[in-house]
Amino acid sequence: MSQPSNEPSFRESVDMMFNRAVALMELPPGLEEKIRVCNATYTVRFGVRLRGQIKTFTGYRSVHSEHMEPVKGGIRFSLGVNQDEVEALAALMTYKCSLVEAPFGGSKGGLCIDPREYEEHELELITRRFAYELIKRDLINPAQNVPAPDMGTGEREMAWIADQYKRMNTTDINGVACVTGKPINAGGIQGRTEATGRGVQYALHAFFRDPEGLKKAGMVGALKGKRVIVQGLGNVGYHAAKFLSEEDGCKVTCVIEYNGSVTNDDGLDIEALKQHITETGGPDGFTGGTFHKDGTHLLEKECDILIPAALEGVINLSNANNIKASLIIEAANGPVTAGADEILRDKGVVIIPDMYANAGGVTVSYFEWVKNLSHIRFGRMQRRQEEARHQLVVDELERLSSDSGIGWQLSPNFKDKYLRGADELELVRSGLDDTMRNAYLSMADVWHSRGDVTDLRTAAYLVSIGKVAASYRAKGL
């Protein structure tokens, strides 16, 4: 969906939301601007010999804030990539990392390319060449700038980037930490692929534990049974929709893709739909629901929770008034424009903002980076020791029960669960859940306690900018 031309650009939209929040803060003169502006954007144009000719590509890496290093943020492969977009996304990374206490500044990268037009070996050549350009300028470096997947990239691209870095820095013992979102066999961590979608699920759990928040959204009851619309069944949308429908009992009544949509008021089978899309290229022909050629108007369909998990700017001045959802959770970065945000606020729609809602990805990236720097998998030292200690308790309970003649039996289900030490995936999920709960509480505290803060986005900015400002102050700025 194209954004109406009377709306500000994505970066201006982020700046407007930032300005709205800092107007409520007392920052030292000039610090506000220092935090808002993007420190640097590097543009590179490079040629790759493909199909008998040299093809030139344009890429960017923006560094928004270096109040903490390394700086962190994904690399996007999309034809829509431009400097404005990359800078907006880099700014959001600063605020996101600060809010969830991932110790990074914000950065983002992008390459103008439609990855679907290229064969795998061609994409490898292009990715390695782009990585080479960034690595030689320390724009990929475990101590300075650590990319990750974003739209159009995944663990395959991250493995190529890590390998490229290793080739150019053969003696860097921490080289594998130069990028996150790698496959397990190339230094990745369990649970990174699902992390952003999992984070969306944990964010909703946190919201549904907040009675005051629910009241503000005019919602009642539990997450179970809520009708959900998801836009975008890519990595984030797919995992969020899958976990919400399979584990939380939500009904995903509509999935909107760029090439068509499907609706089913009884709830869609997300796994089957994803499989159909992977096999055939789109939702057309899926038998588990009604197909619609164009989907964007379905953002306006009746539902409880709307999850935009695709592009920025999809909820804008042209459709904000027609949105029926009580709750919007921004799984994508920047899906609601500043203008739409105002309309939705006036309508009483609660928006769980991107910088919080999709922070699961960078949170687990942080865990992966720590794992890489410590050169050991999480749980490797403790797991069996933990199991042995739990076994002691179980043995003792069973001995007491039989010695005293009471004859209690521990249920096999309890024993199974209690005796199992946590593996890496469980630890990652626990760390992510803890992060999402704490960040929610910090936002909600501001949202519910300050009369001048009427929405979660402003609350998120206040918490996040407060932390960035504190770290500038600590540096003597």
The answer to whether residue 148 forms part of the interface with ligand GLU (CB under 6 A) is yes
Distance CA 45, CA 47 (A): 7
Catalytic residue among 72, 96, 108, 216: 108
Distance CA 436, CA 193 (A): 17
Consecutive H or E run containing 252: strand 251-257
Distance CA 312, CA 82 (A): 13
Please report how close the Cβ of residue 364 comes to ligand GLU at its closest, in angstroms.
7
Residue number with the smallest Cβ distance to ligand GLU: 74
Distance CA 457, CA 356 (A): 9
Pairing of strands 227-231, 251-257: parallel
Owner of token pair 């300005």: 19
Q: Which pair of structure tokens corresponds to residue 143? A: 């101590």
Distance CA 273, CA 253 (A): 12
Please report how close the Cβ of residue 134 comes to ligand GLU at its closest, in angstroms.
14
Show contacts with ligand GLU in window 149-168 (CB under 6 A).
150
The smaller minimum CB distance to ligand GLU, of residues 74 and 234, is found at: 74
Please report how close the Cβ of residue 310 comes to ligand GLU at its closest, in angstroms.
13
Q: Which of 109, 234, 361, 379 touches ligand GLU (CB under 6 A)?
A: 361
The smaller minimum CB distance to ligand GLU, of residues 95 and 440, is found at: 95
The smaller minimum CB distance to ligand GLU, of residues 315 and 331, is found at: 331
Stretch that binds ligand GLU, among 70-78, 182-190, 407-415, 416-424 (CB under 6 A): 70-78
| Biggest CA-to-CA distance, the chain | 85
71: helix, strand or coil? strand
Q: Which of 72, 128, 383, 429 touches ligand GLU (CB under 6 A)?
A: 72
Q: Is the C-alpha dihedral spanning 343, 345, 347, 353 positive or negative?
A: positive
The answer to whether residue 78 forms part of the interface with ligand GLU (CB under 6 A) is no
Q: Which pair of structure tokens corresponds to residue 202? A: 């944990």
The runs of H, that is alpha helices, within 263-382 are 270-280, 338-347, 354-357, 360-374
The smaller minimum CB distance to ligand GLU, of residues 286 and 369, is found at: 369
Q: Which of 59, 74, 152, 213 touches ligand GLU (CB under 6 A)?
A: 74
Please report how close the Cβ of residue 398 comes to ligand GLU at its closest, in angstroms.
46
Show contacts with ligand GLU in window 323-352 (CB under 6 A).
333
Please report how close the Cβ of residue 369 comes to ligand GLU at its closest, in angstroms.
9
Question: 324 catalytic, yes or no?
Answer: no
The answer to whether residue 85 forms part of the interface with ligand GLU (CB under 6 A) is no
The number of residues that bind ligand GLU (CB under 6 A) is: 11
Q: Which pair of structure tokens corresponds to residue 298? A: 């379905």
Show contacts with ligand GLU in window 172-211 (CB under 6 A).
180
The smaller minimum CB distance to ligand GLU, of residues 14 and 362, is found at: 362
Q: Which pair of structure tokens corresponds to residue 134? A: 């960034």
336: helix, strand or coil? strand
Peptide bond into 142 cis (omega under 30): no
Binding region for ligand GLU (CB under 6 A): 72-74, 148, 150, 180, 333, 358, 361-362, 365
Catalytic residues: 108
